[in-house]
Each structure stands twice: as C-alpha cells, then as structure tokens.
Structure 1
Amino acid sequence: MNTGGSTDLPKLSHLVLSVCVTICGAARADPISLDDFVQADPAQARIGQLLFYDPVLSGNRNISCATCHHHEHAGGDGLSLGIGEGGTGLGPDRTPGAGESRIAKRIPRNAPALWNLGHKSVDVLFHDGRLEVSDQFGNGFDTPAEEWFPEGLDNILAAQALLPLTSEFEMAGNVGENQVIGAVRDRIDLGWPILAKRVRTIPEYGEMFVAAFDHIDHPGEVTIVEIGNAIGAFVASEWISIDSPYDAWLAEGTPLRADADRGRELFFGKARCATCHSGPLFTDQEFHALSLPAFGPGRTRKFDQVARDVGRMGATDLLEDAYRFRTPPLRNVALTAPYGHNGAFPTLAGMIRHHADPRASRAAWQPDQAHLPEVPWLAASDFAIRQDWLEMRRQRARLDIRPVALTESEIADLVAFLEALTGDTVADRPLGVPDSVPSGLPVD
C-alpha cells in the first residue's frame, strides 16, 4: 500500500467502512443509477404531464392527478387526509367546497409522494398494495378491476394511473353527478372508455397521441391504455431523484455532515430502521403493522360497520394482513410531511419516536397533530373511531415492530440522516407544471 500520499485516503476510508458494514451484517442501501429506472419516451411523457394536470380526466372535470400530487408539494398535498372531488384550492390551503358539490368524505389515506416510483424494483403500489405486478388475471396486474383491467399497460405506474379515475371521492364524483361515476358503479372498467373519448376528441391531444405512439394512426384509436402509458411515462421520468448527499457518500465517499453520519450509523445499526427500509429506495415493499393512531373515515369495505382501515387485509382478505401497510420509500422523505398511511405525524422526529415506542406514542398522540382542513359537517366523525374501544384494542394488539430505546439526540441524528436523502435538484424537474392544458380547463 502506498502511504506516502493522502489524496486517496477519503475513498480508502469509505471503502473500509463499506466492508465493515458488510462484514458486520448491517443492511445498507445499494448505489442507484438511471439504468435502474424504466425508460420513458419523452413525447409520451409530455402528453402525460398535460393529462396529469388536466381536470378532464375527472368525472366532473374539477380535479386532476396533480391536485393531490403537485410539484409545489413535492409530489404530495401536505395534508394528513386529502380533500378530493368537490374541494377547491391546493395543498394545505384546499377547502372542502360548498353547496351540493361539497365533499362528502375525506380521502381515507395520506397522498403518497411519487419519487422514484419508476425504479425497476417497484412491483406493488398503494398503502395496502392493492396494485401488484401479477399474471393472476392475464393482464399483467392484480388490481381491484381483476379480469376487467385492460391489457397493454407498459408498467405498474401506467396501471396505477387508472385507478384514482374510478374512485368516487378522489376523481370520479358522487353518484348521479356525471356519466363516469354512473358507469363505474355498474362495473369498475366502464368509466375508462368515457374518459378516453373525452381526451382523444380534443384535437391537440389527438394529434399528440398519433405523433407519440407508433401504433396509433388516428385519434379514434386512443384508449385508456395509451392514456395510462402516457401518465406512467411522465411519473417515471419526472420524479427521479438520486443526487442526495447520501448518494454522494455512497458512490464517492463524500463525507456526510457529522450528525447525518451518526444518524446513518443508527439507521443501519442500533435503531434497526433498515430492517424494513432497505434497498436503493429504502423500502422492502412489504407490509407491516405499526399501530398508528387512528382517525378519519377509514378505508372501509362494503361490510364494515365502523370507520376503520384494516390495511393490507382489505386487499387480500387474509386475517394475518390486518392493519399492515406498505413500507414507504424514504428518498426525499423530509419534503413529504405528514407521515404515516394516514398522515398522523407532522414531523420526522414524531414518526421516529413512534417507531421507537409505538404503544407509548399511540397513547400520547393528540388529534391536533393531524393536519385536516376544517370540514364542519364531517367534524363529528373525524375522530369517532377512537371511541370504539374494541377496535382500538385490536389495533393496539397488532404490532410488527419492536421498541428500541433512543435518546432525543439520537432521534435528531436520525432526522439529519433522513434529510441527507433529499436530492440536490428536487426543485429542478424535467417538465414541471404546464401553463395550460389542451382541454382549456384551469391548471392547479
């Protein structure tokens, strides 16, 4: 070994540390590169950008995908539980509407951010995993639409784009308000042809689809499949973020800030965060019960008598999956508060404290920690589930994580490490927010 110079010492110490981490058995994320992501056609992504921001895809033409997944809010909406169809405004300032068009229900779960979902490893989406890559129904995916889900979608992001369009409280609208929700109520797939016709009969969209898709010779050939593929191409390419300080440490040995480096050691060591938050996206894509504080309308099934959310069990009907939710990826997590499947915690420190001692955290939690826009006609039901002692006992009993003793200083170091997962260019997106959309409808 040449010890006469010091120019390679940072890289050498980084290599030694990497070997030590491996030998000691502690998990750590792998390096990540653009080659790890699905390829997206730029022309299709441009169509997807416009459709993502165009309310034309909602039943009442009054809400878009971007309303709950906006660039200004790092791909989320900044709320614990969103204000969907019928509301007005954007993000934390969104209001629930008024009159007959006002919202009838809050969105049951927190709007997940979109960062790096185009990574090739992603094969399950939504908090309960109700969308998975699968050959079960012969169309490439296991979804609530089962055998009626269309064939020909490029990837799981293209598939994901179709499901909010069928949701009454997200984008489809209330029964009786429009043709889309009426069709969806008959069968989940019957609303998609209506939306596809809306899009392809707008001349600008029609021309763009013909130019971007080799198999489309005439606008009349555009279906919901091309629409989903366009939106999937946009999400896959728009939200890539792999240039954080941690990435620089991982690839080049660039030192992290001292507190972030201590947090890194805790994350992969004593705090056991990497047990579930593993791999290049910091998720095992599995489902775990964390016993988060309950509130909101719940994601109820037809036979549920209470406003509860049973998590993964709602998708699988397996009792063993009760109250389990998908491990969220953590890149850019510092930008996407509040946290948890229902946005129960407004800060990363609060969420870490809950992981460290779930039962104590749940007992101490107060409703004012939830970021819920005021909706007077829903106020009585927002926290009603917390009075159901039997349901609360069931939720408290279902816990997949073990407590770990962390000091406040260690929690602060973990927060610093999570902040080091924020990309340097998060504000510089390839396409961003369009000035206008072909439908002529307002852009949020």
Structure 2
Amino acid sequence: MPALADVPALPKPLTMDDFMVVDAQKAELGRLLFYDKILSGNRNISCGTCHHPAFGTSDGLSLGLGEGGLGLGPERVSGSGADKIVKRVPRNAPALWNLGAKSISVLMHDGRISANPIYGNGFNTPAEEWLPDGLETVLAAQALFPMTSSIEMAGNVGENEVIGATRDRIDAAWPIIAKRVRTIPAYGDGFVAAFSEIEKAEDVSITQIADALAHFMVQDFTSLDSPFDAFLRGDEAALTPQQMNGMELFFGDAGCSGCHAGPLLTDQQFHALGLPAFGPGRTRKFDPYARDVGRMGETDDLNDAYRFRTPMLRNVALTGPYGHNGAYPTLERMIRHHMAPEAARHAWAPDDLTLPNVSWLSDIDFVIQQDQIEMSRQARALDIKIALRSDSDIAALVAFLESLTGAAANAENSRIPEQVPSGLKVDR
C-alpha cells in the first residue's frame, strides 16, 4: 500500500488560511438571505432551493427547474398555468464547496464571472461596467446573477418589477431587491450592526447583500474535514487500502490530476469532455437551436468551443448527477466517460438523467441530437486522453473520490433557518 511520501504530486493540505476571512455576523445575515425567497422576482425561490445541503449544495437534478417550480431536488415539479416552467435551467447546478478560496479567480461552468480589472470594478461579468462597486470577492459577484436570470430567480417578463428592470438594464434590478430587503426591520437593523459602512438601513445596497451571502457560503460550505484531508495532514490511516490505491492512480498513472490539480483539485481551466448533449443549452443570441458551446459563449473564441471549467471535487460523492449538464448519474459512469468518451456517448440514454418530466419542454430536451453536424463537432472537441483502466482500478478511483467527502457535509451540518425575516416559506 502506498505511503504519503510515495504518491507523486500530492497537493499541500488546505487550511483556513487559504480562504477569505469570515465575519460571523455577516455570515448569519447571509444565511437568512440564502434561504429567503425575498431575493427572487416572484418571491417563490431562494438560493437554497437549488443549492441545498440535502443534495450536497446542488439540487440532485441533471438540469434544474428554477423559477416556477415547486418542491426540492428530484421531487421538484413545475407549477401550473401562468406559473409553469418555461425553460429548464440549462446547466447543472454547481456545488458551493470551497468557493471562498483566495486562489479562485473564475466561476461558473463557462467562466463568465472572473476577477479582472477590465471594467474598473474588479470583475469581468455579464454586467460589464454596470456591476456594483465595492464587492469583496468573485464569489460575491457571482451571487448577484441568479437574481437577474428569468429562469433561475427573476421570473418572466410581465410578472414582477425585478425582471422588468433587468430587461431595461441589468443593474436596474438590484436596487429593487436591495430596497425589499432593507425595508424589513430585522434585515435593516442586521446590516447596520454587521457592516461598519452602514449607518442606517437606507444605506444598504446590493453590494452588502452579495457580500453577506458570500460570507455565509464560505462559513458553512468550506470543507477541509474529509479522510483525504486528514491523510494530507499526516494521518496515513485515514484512507482505506482501496482509497489509497485510487489516490495513487488519481495523482499518478490515471492522469486525473492533470486537470484536477492543486489543493482545490482544479486547474481553473476549461476542457472539452464530449459529454452527451441534451437540454436547452446556454446558447448565444444568434444560435439557431438548443446547443451549449461552453466557454466560447463567454469569449467568442472558436478555440473555446465546448470547453467547460474543471470542477473542484470536495464532497463530489454528494453532488451528482455529474457533468456540466448532469449527464451521468454516478461517479463510475463519469470516470468511464473520461476513459472512452465515444463509447460512453453511444451507450448513454435519456434514462440516465434525473430530469423531472415537463411535457411541454420534451420537444426541446433532445432536439440537439437530431443535428448530426453539431453532434460531430461536439464529438471531435476532446481534450481528454486517459487510458482505459481495469474495473478494479475504476472502483479504486471511485473509492478515492468518496474519500473527499467531509464529515460536516455528509452530516448536513449547515443549519437551515426555521423562518426568515420576510415571513416567506423556507424550502427545507
């Protein structure tokens, strides 16, 4: 069995010094906001609806049902009538573990949120120069955008003032949301107490709301307590023999750490995996059909077509389905795809998905697969070349990935509030 010194290229152990410093008072405000539907246009969905501790801070679905849905996780269904879902969320809900790391510079599957001085506010985002000033972190910047997405939290045009303002200009919606929050006395008083720059409730802006959300996510969703973390800190008994073998493969001959590199197990780069295509995709304005071009949608560079950000892997056993579109239900299937993408695509079937039935969306769910030219383009865009491994090696890799599960995450230790200041129902 390999010892710590025998495994090549092991990352250094993570410590809390690798993460932004959390202010507990701000974090507790953020907890309430994270689960409060007051941040959504129709007051019917919260951040926690699609990033729930019960599903590893994801939603347990291949593609989620956002604004207009009812329930949690695989049991979520569409509303009816005027409230029905009009489009699936085009990408798998990413887990929130360790997003407060100081080294993180880019977020989202296509990297459309990044730390960058290009617009004078410290970040390159879809809001460009209209992003509010003063945001502390890239995580705080990211927290703003689900609020302006019609299919995630904002609602459909004509339903509320938030989506109407967003259609005028993206930054017009955030003051509306901030006013909703600060005029609730418990929130207004809480921000005055937690933020030194806030002297009265009227001073609360979307900047403080986003920063509070980020403090909460870092406080509750930083994960350093897995068996693998214990092993890196010197406890060689923390891993089983099978997990040790999987770790040796992961950082050695199997080549997984070529992309899943460093302490966060991501190179923060973008790679094409040739995953099965389905769903509405995240299309550009001029794309004539449902497809997802990945990083190219952000950069408009053909070299970035079908490439997606390398995910971090802490608690990955809790966060399925896997892939940018949730194509695979298990870690084993995802690993096998990496080793034989073409064969895996041919073996894949819609039954592999955790995709709530929405009959009026079924025509679009798999329409992309009728376009053979597009399917050929996607199949050719492959950045992974990993040799086939035996069944026992794949089982060992799965066991190693399971060793990345933290005790607190596994126990769902993040507290969900019984109630929130708005009085709206909390999804539990």
Q: Same fold (TM over 0.5)?
A: yes
Q: Which has the higher mean CA deviation after the structures are superposed, 285-294 or 422-431?
A: 422-431
For residue 387 of structure 1, what is the aligned residue in structure 2?
370
Q: Distance in 2 between matches of 1:241 and 1:152?
A: 27
For residue 299 of structure 1, what is the aligned residue in structure 2?
282
For residue 188 of structure 2, what is the aligned residue in structure 1?
206
Q: Distance in 2 between matches of 1:429 and 1:361?
A: 33
Q: Indicate if the aligned counterparts of 1:289 and 1:325 stay in contact, CA closer than 8 A.
A: yes
| Structure 1 vs Structure 2 CA RMSD | 1.3
Find the residue that maps to 1:391 and give its secondary structure: helix
Aligned positions of 1:9-408 closer than 5 A: 14=3, 17-18=4-5, 20-21=6-7, 26-255=8-237, 256-408=239-391
TM-score (norm 1): 0.94
Determine if the alignment matches structure 1 residue 433 to structure 2 residue 416. yes
Aligned-residue offset at 1:175: 0.7
Q: Distance in 1 between matches of 2:230 and 2:382?
A: 35
Aligned-residue offset at 1:425: 2.2
Q: Distance in 2 between matches of 1:377 and 1:338?
A: 23
Aligned-residue offset at 1:317: 0.7
Q: Distance in 1 between matches of 2:51 and 2:146?
A: 12
Q: Distance in 1 between matches of 2:59 and 2:205?
A: 29
TM-aligned CA distance change 1:55 to 1:398, over 3 Å: same
Aligned-residue offset at 1:63: 0.4
Aligned-residue offset at 1:240: 1.1
Q: Distance in 2 between matches of 1:425 and 1:69?
A: 16
Q: Which has the higher mean CA deviation after the structures are superposed, 158-167 or 423-432?
A: 423-432
Aligned-residue offset at 1:394: 0.6
Which consecutive aligned stretches of 4+ in structure 1 deviate over 4 angstroms post-superposition? Answer: 427-431
Unpaired runs of 5+ residues, structure 1, are: 1-9
Aligned-residue offset at 1:408: 1.1
Q: Indicate if the aligned counterparts of 1:210 and 1:217 stay in contact, CA closer than 8 A.
A: yes
Q: Indicate if the aligned counterparts of 2:70 and 2:78 stay in contact, CA closer than 8 A.
A: yes
Which amino acid letter does the alignment assign opposite residue 390 of structure 1?
Answer: I
Question: Which one has a bigger Cα radius of gyration?
Answer: 1
Q: Indicate if the aligned counterparts of 1:27 and 1:275 stay in contact, CA closer than 8 A.
A: no
Which amino acid letter does the alignment assign opposite residue 33 of structure 1?
Answer: T
Aligned-residue offset at 1:30: 1.7
Q: Indicate if the aligned counterparts of 1:157 and 1:236 stay in contact, CA closer than 8 A.
A: no
Q: Indicate if the aligned counterparts of 2:254 and 2:386 stay in contact, CA closer than 8 A.
A: no
Find the residue that maps to 2:114 and give its secondary structure: strand
Find the residue that maps to 2:217 and give its secondary structure: helix
**Percent identical across equivalent pairs?**
60
Q: Indicate if the aligned counterparts of 2:53 and 2:414 stay in contact, CA closer than 8 A.
A: no
TM-score (norm 2): 0.98
Q: Indicate if the aligned counterparts of 2:54 and 2:412 stay in contact, CA closer than 8 A.
A: no
Aligned-residue offset at 1:427: 4.3
Q: Which has the higher mean CA deviation after the structures are superposed, 242-251 or 307-316?
A: 242-251
Q: Distance in 2 between matches of 1:355 and 1:27?
A: 21
The number of residue pairs the alignment matches comes to 426
Find the residue that maps to 1:425 and give its secondary structure: helix
Aligned-residue offset at 1:359: 1.2
Aligned-residue offset at 1:316: 0.7
Q: Distance in 1 between matches of 2:386 and 2:12?
A: 26
Q: Distance in 2 between matches of 1:101 and 1:76?
A: 23
Which amino acid letter does the alignment assign opposite residue 81 of structure 2?
Answer: G
Q: Distance in 2 between matches of 1:429 and 1:262?
A: 28
Q: Distance in 2 between matches of 1:191 and 1:277?
A: 37
Q: Distance in 2 between matches of 1:429 and 1:229?
A: 23
Which amino acid letter does the alignment assign opposite residue 239 of structure 1?
Answer: F
Aligned-residue offset at 1:439: 0.3
Aligned-residue offset at 1:72: 1.4
Find the residue that maps to 2:408 and give its secondary structure: coil
Which amino acid letter does the alignment assign opposite residue 327 of structure 2?
Answer: A
Aligned-residue offset at 1:150: 0.8
